[in-house]
Chains A and B, each alone.
Chain A
Amino acid sequence: MGLIFIRTTIIFISLLLIMRLMGKRQIGEMQPFELVITLLIAELACIPMSDTTIPLLYGVISMIAIFFLHQIMLLIDLKCRGLKTLVAGKPAIVINKNGIDISELKKNNLDINDLIESLRGAGYFAFDDVDYALYEASGKFSAMAKENKETSAQKSSIPLLIITDGKFEKHNLDLTHTTEKYFLQILEKENIQSLKKVFVLTIDGTGKIYLQCRGEKYKILQATLPKESVW
């Protein structure tokens, strides 16, 4: 039984480590250790239940070991702030007053599309609708709206992603009836020589552009869209 206890502990710690390394994408509204327990407990209960050649005590001991580890984690959660950060992670502020924090996104294995999806899920459709946005340690997304956020009546269409990570989104160019040349001219006016420097560029139906270059604060630009650009 000592073997089972030690083996359960090793698997628990390994799984927890893997979950933490995978970043917030893999965690859905649970602390990493809670997710690990959820993953393990079902298996531990099932194996001795279905395989009659394994003593039932093996399952019971594993579950007591999991309970013991859970209580230890709970204690760490309540009492040791440093260890808590190590075990559960910390919230990642992915949008601040300067725009998108690219390094925080990368640190949590997220890309711009994940961020857009989370924003939409929280009821925001443009990056400049929020002052702050963050992923909690549990992976839950929270956002703080801008005070002068446009109401839905003022909005004409959903902002579309035109450039991400220095690459054009061809599908969205077709949707907006615009061309790469059109946006390259806008970038040129902003003194941006290389497309690779652009982390994200979105445009909405009014021609409002959200532009953020790597290592710089975001800019809001106003462009005149071609007449046929309606979406």
Chain B
Amino acid sequence: MVKTILSIVISFSILIGICIFESIFIHKTINSVETALIQLETKTKMQTATKADALKVNEEWQNKKRILHIFVPHNDIGYIDYWLGEAISYIESKNFDHALSKVQVLISIFNQIPEVYSLSLQNIF
């Protein structure tokens, strides 16, 4: 009986602990990359963005995504890699109009990820 109650408490604590950690970690990770992306977006709009700026965002993303793989389906991460690669390429070739659209799509994806994994009625059902 004591063992059963103890196992209930432990398993519930693990579940709640992981839920809270996941929520905080995803928000924190996404926010830091999103901030870098917003800076890149501003520079792209002003047509002053350089390849180095884009690579800096990419480096930030590459560092964060390793742990994000534990929580987020790998396909979603793959899409971000794909869009970011395109944005870097457009910035390098000074094609700022195309680069801007790619960066904006990335910002939109980064906005959506925490929402997709948050506890809400539409996500549960």
Contacts and interface: CB of A to CB of B under 8 A. Distances in A.
Interface in A1-51: 1-3, 5-7, 10
A72 B8 contact: yes
A61 interface: yes
Interface string B14-58: 110011001100000000000000000000000000000000000
Contacts of A5: 15, 19
Contacts of B19: 1-2, 5
Contacts of A52: 74
A133 to B, nearest CB: 34
A interface, size bucket: 20 to 34
A52 B1 CA distance: 39
A88 to B, nearest CB: 16
Interface residues of B, number: 24
B83 interface: no
A64 interface: yes
A121 interface: no
Contact of A1 (B7, B8, B18, B123): B18
Interface in B80-101: none
B117 interface: yes
Contacts of B72: 55
Contact of B23 (A2, A10, A54, A57): A2
A29 B85 CA distance: 57
Contact of B18 (A61, A67, A74, A78): A61
A55 B18 contact: no
B11 A1 contact: no
B8 to A, nearest CB: 5
B117 A64 contact: no
A68 B124 contact: no
A218 to B, nearest CB: 45
Contacts of B75: 53
Contacts of B7: 67, 71
Interface string A56-75: 01000100110110011011
Contacts of A1: 15, 18-19, 22, 71
Contacts of B1: 78
A3 B8 contact: no
Interface of B: 1, 4-5, 7-8, 11-12, 14-15, 18-19, 22-23, 69-75, 117, 119, 123-124
Interface of A: 1-3, 5-7, 10, 52-55, 57, 61, 64-65, 67-68, 71-72, 74-75, 78
Given A53-B75, A71-B11, 14 more contacts: A2-B23, A2-B119, A3-B124, A7-B124, A53-B73, A55-B73, A57-B70, A64-B11, A64-B15, A67-B7, A68-B8, A68-B12, A71-B4, A75-B8
Nearest 7 interchain pairs by C-beta: A2-B19, A68-B11, A53-B74, A71-B8, A1-B22, A1-B19, A2-B119
